[in-house]
Amino acid sequence: MSMKKDTIDELFGNLKGEFDVNTPNKDHELRFLDKLKANDVVSIDSKKSSGFNWKPFLAIAASIVICLSVFITMQNQPEVLDLASISPELSETQDFFTTTIENELKKLNKERSPLTEQIITDALMQIQLLETNYQNLKTDLTESGSDQRVIYAMITNFQNRIDILNTVLKQIETIKELKINTNEPKNTI
């Protein structure tokens, strides 16, 4: 151990006087910082002049790739079928039901009043549930390859909507008649 220590002491002893132990001048730090800044400017200038900037073209290329992948994904998804896409007869059936439901909804909305508001709101909620169910049936029809059971369920869905609307319109008529009868003065002899 002492031999190593002696060797190190000897080495430093031999190098005595060769170390620069003088304190640097006051503006040494400023000159050093100026040199660093000059090197930065040179490196920035060399980067600017070093060639073509590819960043905008890479962004455009990435955008094109994304657009193409979305387009291909959309092309690979099967078109969702409805009754109209199965046959001309079912297309007519769908048109009939759709038109009838729209007309019944217009009639229903004309009957809005404080007395009928709750019954109309409830009916519209039931219609919305059936519409959601119909959208699911369209997916089932597409996936099943036009299964007859799904077609029947879709027709039944339309019929159920019409039944709800007709029932509510009859209830509204009953409510209106009751109101008229209770508001009429009673003739007593």
Alpha-carbon distance of 108 to 188, in angstroms, equals 37
Number of residues written out for the chain = 189
pTM of the predicted model, to two decimals? 0.55
**What does the pLDDT read at residue 33?**
72
**What does the pLDDT read at residue 68?**
60
**What does the pLDDT read at residue 121?**
93
Going by pLDDT thresholds of 50, 70 and 90, the confidence category of residue 152 is very high
Summary mean pLDDT of the chain: 77
Going by pLDDT thresholds of 50, 70 and 90, the confidence category of residue 189 is low
* CA contacts within 13 A on the Cβ side of 5: 2
The answer, yes or no, to whether residue 138 has pLDDT greater than 80, is: yes
**What does the pLDDT read at residue 107?**
92
Alpha-carbon distance of 131 to 47, in angstroms, equals 62
In contact, 150 and 144? CB cutoff 8 Å: yes
**Higher confidence at residue 161 or residue 58?**
161
**Cα-to-chain-centroid distance, residue 90:** 33
The answer, yes or no, to whether residue 59 has pLDDT greater than 60, is: yes
The answer, yes or no, to whether residue 178 has pLDDT greater than 60, is: yes
**What does the pLDDT read at residue 110?**
92
Instruction: Give the mean model confidence (pLDDT) for residues 6-21.
Output: 64
The answer, yes or no, to whether residue 113 has pLDDT greater than 60, is: yes
**Higher confidence at residue 179 or residue 135?**
135
